[in-house]
Amino acid sequence: TRHDAYPVLGRLRAIGNEPRSLVAALFAEHPYHSDSARSFGQTCLRLAGGEIENYESHFRRLLACDSLNGLAAPVHRAIRRASREGAGLPVNYLRLLKDLWAWKDYPAHQAYCQQHGRDDVKTRWAQDFWQAPAEAINTDPISEPI
């Protein structure tokens, strides 16, 4: 419960800071961080594996969220799924924290939020989830020799 978490949240300076509290809870569920993940959209793509169509509706619901409170549940579901996958599916928690600041337009990080708004985060996540890999984009069948 939350009152049991206050000592830990206090050490993390996360009491009263919804984005930090959420990321702390997510990390407690799945403590595998990597700077290599571009965004949470890429993490979701890796979660989908070869079954992107099956995961797409979950990802669309995630992008439809306009509040941090609404976003918390679908992100937590994704992290629980990542936890089942194990250490092979790390999350870039620092990037996720910054994205959550922008999602909430968090006043303590006004400069960051002005540069990276919620719509920017949604766009980046969508690009990382749906955009074709560079190899597929660079293959132009018309320019191939016959």
Say what the pTM is: 0.77
Express each pLDDT in 4-49 by its tens digit.
Answer: 666 666 666 656 667 888 888 888 889 889 988 789 999 999 999 8
Q: What letter does residue 117 receive in the DSSP assignment?
A: -
> For 9-131, which CATH class?
mainly alpha
Residues in Cβ contact with 95 at an 8 Å cutoff, skipping those fewer than 6 apart:
35, 37, 38, 39, 40
- Give the model's pLDDT for residue 143: 46
> How far, in Å, CA of 103 to CA of 105, rounded?
6
Give the sign of the dihedral formed by CA 48, CA 51, CA 52, CA 55: negative
Alpha helices, H only, 15-51: 18-29, 40-48
More confident residue, 136 or 37: 37
More confident residue, 141 or 61: 61
